[in-house]
Structures are given as C-alpha cells and as structure tokens.
Structure 1
Amino acid sequence: MDDQLTLVQTLPLILGGLTVAEYVWRPHVPNTLSPRPFLHPVRTLAGTTVTEVMPPDHLHHLGVSVAVPDAGGANFWGGRTYVQGQGSIPLPNHGVQRHHRWEAKTDAVLAHELHWIGPDGTTLLRERRRIAARPVDDRAWALDFRYALQNLTAEPLVISSPGVKGRTGAGYGGFFWRARRGQNNVKILGPDVAGEARLHGSATPWLALSASGPEPWTLVFIDIAAQRDPWFVRGGDYVGVGPALAWEEPLTAAPGEGPRRRIITVVADGDLGPRAIEGLVEAVAASPAPREA
C-alpha cells in the first residue's frame, strides 16, 4: 500500500553504486499507525524487495522500524492496544517518533537523534539511531542497526508488551522487520533447529528466513552483541521477525537511562540452507565493525 505514503522524506543507503534501501526518516502516515522512521524498500543486491509496508493485514507494520507497543503508557507500535481482560481495543494513545537532528549522513551510514513523543505532547524518550550498510560478498550485504533509548522523564519509564500483560507469545516490541513473502514459501531456521514453533520465544544467536520461489531471498538476523533477547517470529499469516525488549517481563528505564541494542541483518539473494547461512554469520562476526559516526 505504498500509494498511501505521501509527503515523505527519504534518504538512500548505497553500496557499490546500488541503492540497497530507502530510509523514510520523515514519514507521513495516519496517527493510528504510530508514525516513525522506517526502511522500505530494502532490496537484495539483485534488486528483490524484502520488506513490506502498510500491508492490509497489519497496516501499522512499516518495513524495518523500532516499534514498542507500550512505553510509559503510549503506543509506539501502532494499531490497537492490548488491555488485560479486554483484549486488543482501539485507544487514543498513539505516540510518534520524530527526527530531531542528524549526526551522520553518507551513502552507507545514516545516524540521527529522534524524540519519542506521547499523545499529550510529552517527550518520553530520546533515541540515538545508527544505520549502516556493509558489504558481505557478491550475493549479500548487511544492515547494521543500532539504537539507544534514554528516558527523559523524571520517573522510571516502563516498556511493556501484550506478552507482559498476559497474551501468551505476544512479547513483541523493539527492532522489527516485516518481510515480503510474495509468491514464495518461507522457512524459519536457527542453529540446529527449524520452524516457528521451536524458534518463537527462543534466544538463539541468529535466526533466518529463507524464501524459495520465483524471487528467492534469505534474511539472517544476527544477535551480534549477544543480548539474548527472545525472538518474536511469524511465518504463517504474515512474515516478520524482531528481538523482543519485554517478552514476559517489563523493561524499566530509570531517568536518564534506557536499553541499547544492536542487530545485524544479512540480506542475501537465493534460498540459502543452514550451511550457507552459518557461513554468512561467521563472515559477519569476523569482519571489523564500521567506524563510529
């Protein structure tokens, strides 16, 4: 539903002369979707799009973004809010992530400060975000995504999720990638394990989506900093992956503090198997981290 995105401002991520992703740093979407910067389209080196934005099943899924269903009572995920005992209901509690200032803008690195603003106009969190495109080999590149949140209020700020509030398996929130299935079949793989049932809620060092069909691709999500957040993963009604900040327990940030996270996602052409995926993980782990912006 890309035609619903108007009046946006974007910047490309470029590797070897190829635009591998577009960063929508100033979006224009309905308030009920919790407006926030996002990456879309993200492409393989061969040009296959591997993200989806505002799909009919979940309009609030915006490509690759940082989205939290409850931060200090504000909905930064979009859509309905889960209320214990009532289920998911529409509430006027949507926040917005607003660009504040750039810290770096190059072909392959984008870094900026964002403010997370609640529905009453209060700035709840400051975020520093750094996104870098890194070469891997002739079939793959890597998206190195870091973010650090800082509580700007005078009181402890609680980050929560439907999983914390009693909805089993719904501990989503944090970095989230909505993938484009298209006409492909998608497998979910991990180290010596496969399938959504076994990997959903696990804390494996990496998790991969491998899509076979007319436009094959593979995404490998690497917990490069060994943060051990449980994986939220879906492969049935839709395809999406994200390491969860608050799976079953809330995350409480003291004033001036907050979570810092880093995840590297390898974007590869082809329907890769476990051995090839392990090779990509090893290659990324062995490569030097890019210089800080």
Structure 2
Amino acid sequence: MTAALPLRCGDRTVGSYVHRPDLPARLSPRPYLHPLTTLGGAAVTESTPHDHRHHLGAGIAVPDVAGRNFWGGRTYVRDQGPTELDNHGEQRHLRWIRRAADGFTEELSWTADGERLLHERRTLRTRLLSPTAWELDLSFTLTNTTAGPLRIGSPATNGRPGAGYGGFFWRAPRAAAPPLVFTADAAGEDAVHGRRADWIALAGEQWTLVLRAADPWFVRTREYPGVGPALAWRDPLTVPAGGTLTRRVVTAVADGRLGPGEAAALAARTTR
C-alpha cells in the first residue's frame, strides 16, 4: 500500500513525499516527491506520464548501478540500444531519523536481486524564500555496501552521447508550449544541456524552478520537460567498497515565469 508524508513550508502544504510507493518492478520502485506545487498552487511535478511512465515527480534515480536499473523503463545496452531487461532495482525506505512538517531525514536501502548495493541517508528541508517562492534543499549520501568497487553509470557512459542522466531528476508537467530553460549566460536546451552552471532555471507559464548543484545539467524541454544534475555525464563513477558519494541539490520553486535577472536574484537567496 502506498504511504506518503505531507510536506509543508511555513503554513502552506506544498506537496507530498511518497516514501512507500506501490509500483511495478519495471518502474524501479523508489520514494519520490509528487505532487509538488508553488505557494500559489501551480503544479510543478508530473508522475508516470504517458511519454515516460517511469518518471516519478522529483527524486533520485540512477539508470546503471553495477548493471542494475534504478531509473525504470528500458536499459541502454552498448551497441544494442534501449533494451527491456529484468534488471530493475528498488529503493526501500528503512526508517525515519527525523520527520517534521518541513522535511525529514531517512535511511534507505538500494537492492536488486536480493542484494543490497547501497545504503542511503537522505535529508530534505523546506524554507520560505519570499511570499511567492519556497526552497527545497535535498542532500543524499550513498554508501557502497558490497565487497568490491561499485560502478555508477548512465546511457552516455554505455554509448549514447548526451544521455548522461542519473541522480536527482525533476520531471515537470507537460504543457502546450515547452518551458524556457536558461542559466546566467546561456539559454535554450542545446546551449545548457551538459554544461555546468551555478544555477539553472526551468520556467513554465505559471511557475519557475531555479536549481543549484555542482554536476553538469541534464535538460529536456522539447521531448518532455525535465532537468537534473547528472552524476555520470560522460564518465562512470566508481565508489570503492565502504566508500561514499554525497550530493546536494537546492531548488527554488516560484510562482510565475521569471526572467534571467529575477532567477539570478532568487538563486542568490537560496541556501548555499
């Protein structure tokens, strides 16, 4: 049975964290944030859309962990392309360390074929930025629980250039027109995809997301609206036995379509 935790920012409910999802194996079951909204109530996430059923709002998903799929859907196989494989893993909620209206800290297990590959500690907090914007601050640490090194890859590291997705990913709602995407010095999917930038903005007609992270940005606007920092953009990561991998993504969620100057000002107000 699906279980979810309401998420609040100040006196507003801004969404829900589904920590025990009831999902088929092909979707790589995992906790996710959906629905999320602006303070004014505009939807900013989409889950199981018709174009990619395995897109689950906003959350952490990795397409290749030692050959196991924690992203959902087909697996990209070198010299073969997207392929249906029985290799899907699952992120299992283990326990709450902290749970409050404005966020939580939890522990999770990443398992596949009965084997635990990773232990995760995930922390999320919300914060009010202005009367029209709030902040979602998410960090996670993955610890390799296997006896040897663990390879984290992506379709790009397996032979599909430009498809280095994996890590934190935000699936935004589809609309009649694609959202705008820009950084401080570039605009458009082709200009920002695969680049590093202190912040990136995805702007729909009624909402704007301003994300900050250290990894290269994976961006889609024409095929579907989605954005996230990529763990393995071009080269795989290797986590040694007992080793850890830590990332943090801070997202400002604002009402309205912001321009570059407004997005830069909002990024400057987010937690560093």
TM-score norm. by structure 1 comes to 0.91
Deviation string for 1:160-217 (max 9, x for gaps)? 01100110100000000000133454100101210000100000111101112xxx11
Query: How far 1:109 moved relative to its partner?
Result: 1.6
Q: How does 1:68-79 map to 2 (within 5 A)?
A: 68-79=62-73
Report the equivalent of 2:191.
198
Counterpart contact for 2:10–2:127, Cα < 8 Å: no
Report the equivalent of 1:255.
241
Q: How does 1:164-179 map to 2 (within 5 A)?
A: 164-179=157-172
1:113 matched to 2:95? The reply is no
TM-score norm. by structure 2 comes to 0.98
Counterpart secondary structure, 1:220:
strand
Report the equivalent of 1:283.
269
Query: What is the aligned residue count?
Result: 272
Gapped regions of structure 2 (runs ≥ 5): none
Counterpart secondary structure, 2:270:
helix
Tell me which of 125, 128, 149 is aligned to 1:135. Answer: 128
Query: How far 1:284 moved relative to its partner?
Result: 1.4
Structure 2 CA distance, aligned partners of 1:191 and 1:238? 23
Structure 2 CA distance, aligned partners of 1:283 and 1:144? 13
Report the equivalent of 1:49.
43
The amino acid across from 2:83 in the alignment is I
Structure 2 CA distance, aligned partners of 1:201 and 1:113? 30
Query: How far 1:258 moved relative to its partner?
Result: 2.5
Tell me which of 55, 58, 82 is aligned to 1:61. Answer: 55
Counterpart secondary structure, 1:236:
coil
Displaced runs of 4 or more, over 3 A: none
Counterpart contact for 2:10–2:102, Cα < 8 Å: no
1:18 matched to 2:4? The reply is no
The amino acid across from 1:255 in the alignment is A
Structure 2 CA distance, aligned partners of 1:256 and 1:102? 22
Gapped regions of structure 1 (runs ≥ 5): 1-6
Tell me which of 98, 104, 107 is aligned to 1:104. Answer: 98
Between the aligned residues of both structures, percent identity stands at: 51
Structure 2 CA distance, aligned partners of 1:172 and 1:35? 18
Tell me which of 210, 228, 234 is aligned to 2:220. Answer: 234
